[in-house]
């Protein structure tokens, strides 16, 4: 599914984010930037050791913030590493932190002159964020950002790993973009 808002295309696809050709891909990292499983493991495996070398130059990254490295062997020239919240019961600022993880990543992209960016579904794997809720926050944050930063980005893509994730994000986009 794809929509255009101003000059920005928002696209939802099912796939593997390590294969994306956007200028930047976003990693769902942990606060130590130590690598791990899920999309984090896949990005470091495909991108090679250079990405971890660059991650070590940061003193970690708190939840809701983002840092940038090059893309190593990936097609994407940059990786933006952000840290989503670990979901507990919804009362520990999880929604605010998830929104902030998306916004920090978008801000960092624009600061670095990046026009095309791909996101995974942050926090909805190992960190346990309920998928429908997370999809709503992700889509709303991107739509708000694109509206208040007109022309800054030409493509924001979500690369979803399962049919259920693609469906949740498609439902959120249909609802929030209308």
- For ligand AR6, the binding residues (CB under 6 A) are 16-18, 28-30, 36-40, 42, 84, 120-127, 159, 161-162, 165
Enumerate residues 6+ apart whose C-beta is below 8 A from 111.
none
Q: Closer CB to ligand AR6, residue 36 or residue 60?
A: 36
* Tokens (6 digits) for 65: 């913030």
* Catalytic residue chosen out of the listed positions 40, 89, 107, 144: 40
Minimal distance, residue 111 CB to ligand AR6, in Å: 23
C-alpha–C-alpha distance, residues 177 and 15, integer Å: 23
40 carries an active-site annotation? yes
Q: Closer CB to ligand AR6, residue 11 or residue 123?
A: 123
Closest among 162, 107, 94 to 134, alpha carbons compared: 94
Minimal distance, residue 178 CB to ligand AR6, in Å: 25
Packing angle of the helix pair 163-177, 131-148 (nearest 10 deg): 50
Minimal distance, residue 6 CB to ligand AR6, in Å: 26
Enumerate residues 6+ apart whose C-beta is below 8 A from 17.
25, 26, 39, 42, 43, 118, 119, 120, 159
Q: Closer CB to ligand AR6, residue 68 or residue 74?
A: 74
Q: Supply the residues annotated as catalytic.
A: 40
């Amino acid at each position: 599914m794809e929509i255009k808002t101003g000059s920005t295309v928002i696209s939802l696809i099912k796939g593997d984010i390590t294969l994306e050709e956007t200028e930047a891909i976003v990693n769902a990292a942990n606060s130590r930037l130590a690598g791990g499983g899920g999309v984090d493991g896949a990005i470091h495996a495909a991108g090679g050791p250079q990405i971890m070398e660059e991650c070590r130059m940061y003193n970690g990254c708190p939840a809701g913030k983002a840092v940038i490295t090059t893309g190593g062997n990936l097609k994407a020239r940059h990786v933006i590493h952000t840290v989503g919240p670990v979901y507990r019961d919804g009362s520990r600022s999880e929604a605010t932190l998830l929104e902030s993880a998306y916004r920090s990543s978008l801000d960092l992209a624009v600061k670095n002159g990046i026009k095309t960016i791909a996101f995974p579904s942050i926090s909805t794997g190992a960190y346990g964020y309920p998928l429908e809720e997370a999809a709503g926050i992700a889509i709303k944050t991107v739509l708000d950002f694109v509206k208040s930063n007109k022309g800054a980005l030409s493509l924001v893509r979500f690369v979803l790993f399962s049919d259920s994730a693609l469906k949740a994000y498609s439902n959120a986009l249909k609802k929030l973009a209308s």
